[in-house]
Copies of this chain bind each other. A is one copy, B any other.
Amino acid sequence: MNLPLILVTNDDGITAPGIRHLIHAMNGLGTVVVVAPDSPQSGMGHAITLHDSLRLRPMEIDAGPQTEYSCSGTTVDCVKLALHEVLKDRKPDLIVSGVNHGSNASVNVIYSGTMSAAVEGAMQAVPSIGFSLLDSRWDADFSSLEPYLKQIARNVLDHGLPQGTCLNVNFPHADKAPYAGIKVARQALGFWKEEFEERFDPYGKPYFWMRGDYFNPDGATDTDIWALDNGYVSVVPTRFDLTAHGALAELKGRLDQQ
């Protein structure tokens, strides 16, 4: 039997400790090909490079069995280049993205480069998972993650995922390890409220730095935020159909016209 083919990417860049941990874990499950950005792409959402060309370079970063390439584009560019140029006719059995240095729980999924890879994979009908750790430091402690990375990836390799969905997996900060277990949850309906700090350049002209605080008015116990607060690894099935199906009937009554 052939080993499963696993594509690995991220948005913190190919040298980030998070992706090195993920590559190491996936080497135990299949044949690993890495196509990841050559520089950080955090907060880039589902951005793609339409008006510039892309570079792809073979890389050797550490002494593993994986094959690696760095790409000059965004995380979504990496997935598209991997599927259509690097892997050509071989369709991967799994796409994994991360491990992100920082949370992609709740509405962070919308801004997330890490999860954009998983959403892109789902659109291309490849089972896909984004992994993130609630610690944005470069030297975050990833040491408790490996058994969960393998277990969740193995489960998806064995059973696939419902059509049109990928998984958004978040790990509590290492100070909550050993983790309480795994909880499948829904995306908490929180939001970011930004503040802008105005500064002045040496020529007297203003510029702004954005910073934000996260608010979560969604206090229910079936959310990813609740699971993470209580020490669980959270798993949110995430879809690329953004239609608010529940709103169709009301809006048809208000707007349909011919």
Contacts and interface: CB of A to CB of B under 8 A. Distances in A.
A143 interface: no
Contact of A237 (B162, B205, B247): B247
Given A43-B50, A152-B255, A258-B180, A84 B194 contact: yes
A242 B47 CA distance: 17
Contact of A251 (B116, B180, B181, B235): B235
Contacts of A49: 43, 210
Contact of A107 (B54, B123, B159): B123
B244 A164 contact: yes
Contacts of A167: 251
B254 A159 contact: yes
Interface in A105-127: 107, 109-111, 116, 119, 123-124
B252 A124 contact: no
B208 A54 contact: yes
Nearest to A180: B258
A124 B64 CA distance: 45
Interface string A201-220: 00001111110000000000
Given A81-B208, A206-B56, A243-B236, A164 B189 contact: yes
A142 B163 CA distance: 37
B48 A47 contact: no
A110 B239 CA distance: 11
A46 interface: yes
Contact of A47 (B43, B50, B198): B43
A195 B80 CA distance: 9
B54 A207 contact: yes
A10 to B, nearest CB: 16
Contacts of A81: 196, 208, 210
Interface string A156-200: 000101101101100000000000111110110101111110110
Given A80-B210, A152-B255, A186-B245, 16 more contacts: A40-B51, A46-B46, A46-B110, A53-B207, A54-B207, A55-B206, A56-B206, A80-B194, A80-B196, A159-B254, A182-B256, A186-B248, A236-B242, A236-B243, A237-B248, A238-B242
Interface of A: 40, 42-51, 53-56, 76-77, 80-81, 83-85, 107, 109-111, 116, 119, 123-124, 152, 155, 159, 161-162, 164-165, 167-168, 180-184, 186-187, 189, 191-196, 198-199, 205-210, 232, 235-248, 250-252, 254-258
